[in-house]
Amino acid sequence: MDKRKLLFGALILIGLSFLLMFPWFSGSYYSHILILVYLNVVLAVGYRLLYATGLGSFCHATFYALGGYASAILGQKVGLPYVLCFVAAGIVPAIFALVIGWPSMRVKGPYFFLTTFAFFMVMDSVFRHWTRLTNGSRGIINIPGIAPIGTMRPYYYLAMALMAVTILVMYRLDRARFGTELLAIGDDEELASSVGINVTANRLLAFSIGAMFAGFAGSVYASYISFISPASFSLLSTIFVLVWVVIGGPRKLWGPIAGAVVMTLVAELLRMSGTLQAILYAIVLLIAILVIPRGFVGLVDDLRARFGKGEEPTLGAGLEADASGM
């Protein structure tokens, strides 16, 4: 095991321990920010799955909302134990993703953006007007979860655990054939079909899995805050996720993670208002597209190339042919 990997592993371990101990020595303000970071990472890596195939949706926040509402309604109105609420929070958006995804994927990128935007608008309206179910704009209060309302520490660990599991699953998917297929589709749809890749099926799966994890995150969020309303999931919410993925770089898993972490920390630590955040995101997105179109990931790849190291294999590394066997 070479020194670099050892050092890297040690850093990860230290970072992990730090994060695990965090709520014990820090105030609730910073722990709250980290909870948001963890949930946003889940959103970002979920969004990235479909985005890597060249389709950007406009309804990721809707899946977040669907999960939150499903969890809240089943918990607060029906009284189911949280575990069931959590699971339902993943299933509901996943099903919606399949249902609206299937017809939407027959159209090209920009039109997919529009159909998912339409879905967002419809669901926003449903959340606001189906008051019997959702309490409309007033929202649902006193949402139960894994701990009494108002506690933070259990939710800190729940969010962290969700993020860890999500990253693990995404990592395995990346290294498997599925991950390489997604990248291939993003590179050239036609060529991918010509080698037997079912483009629509792969995209639907990616869309669904991303929606599922967004739903889980929504459930944690709803129970943590103990409150949910349509105002939490605005037009901008999905755009924020899009920006995390774009500035991070969708080609590798760590890109959207870095994007989500950096942007969430900046916005929260600087205590930016909604308007200021919108401006920040707009500027950041413009700069990213002009200067670092492939995101942080692209930046690192360019630096690597500048300093003479070869390109690291991207996805599907689990299938890598042994160079010495050639």
Partner 1 sequence: MPILETSNLTKRFGGLEALKDIGLSIEEGEIIGIIGPNGAGKSTFFNVISGFMKPTTGRVVFDGNDITGKSAARICASGLVRTFQGTKLFMSLPTVENIQIACHVPARTNLLGDIFGTPGTRRRERDARKRVSDVVKLAGLESVVRELPKNLPHGYQRSLGVAIGLAANPKLLCLDEPVTGMNAEETQLMIAMIEQLRREGVTILLVEHSMRTVMGVCDRVVVLNFGRQIAAGTPEEIQCNEEVIQAYLGSSDEVFT
Residues 202-241 within binding reach of partner 1 (CB under 8 A)? 202, 205
How many angstroms separate the Cα of 303 from the Cα of each of 37, 124, 296, 310?
27, 43, 11, 11
Q: Closer to partner 1 by CB, 78 or 188: give it.
A: 188
- Spatial CA neighbour of 245 closest among 207, 294, 279: 294
Q: What tokens does 47 get?
A: 């969004």
Residue in this structure with the two tokens 């160079």, named with its chain if needed: 323
Decide: is 308 part of the binding site for partner 1 (CB under 8 A). no
267-293 core/surface letters (b: 16 or more CB in 10 A; e: else)? bbeeeeeeeebbebbeebbeebeeebe
Dihedral angle sign, alpha carbons of residues 185, 188, 56, 39: positive
Decide: is 150 part of the binding site for partner 1 (CB under 8 A). no
Q: Around Cβ 201, how many Cβ atoms within 10 Å?
A: 11
CB of 212 to partner 1, least distance (A): 12
Q: Closer to partner 1 by CB, 2 or 322: give it.
A: 322
From the list 172, 279, 282, 293, which residue makes contact with partner 1 (rule: CB under 8 A)?
172
Q: Closer to partner 1 by CB, 150 or 310: give it.
A: 310
Decide: is 197 part of the binding site for partner 1 (CB under 8 A). yes
Decide: is 2 part of the binding site for partner 1 (CB under 8 A). no
Are residues 113 and 239 in contact, defined by beta-carbon separation less than 8 angstroms?
Answer: no
64: CB partners within 8 A, 6+ apart? 43, 93, 214, 215, 217, 218, 221, 233, 237
From 56-64, 220-228, 275-283, 316-324, give the range in contact with partner 1 by CB under 8 A: 316-324
Q: Closer to partner 1 by CB, 194 or 275: give it.
A: 194
- Spatial CA neighbour of 127 closest among 208, 222, 42, 56: 222
- Spatial CA neighbour of 202 closest among 189, 214, 212, 191: 189
Q: Closer to partner 1 by CB, 149 or 197: give it.
A: 197
CB of 172 to partner 1, least distance (A): 5
Decide: is 10 part of the binding site for partner 1 (CB under 8 A). no
From the list 17, 26, 193, 273, which residue makes contact with partner 1 (rule: CB under 8 A)?
193
Q: Closer to partner 1 by CB, 18 or 187: give it.
A: 187
Residues in contact with partner 1 by the rule CB under 8 A: 169, 172-173, 176-178, 180-181, 183-184, 186-188, 190-199, 201-202, 205, 251, 310-311, 313-316, 318-323, 325-326
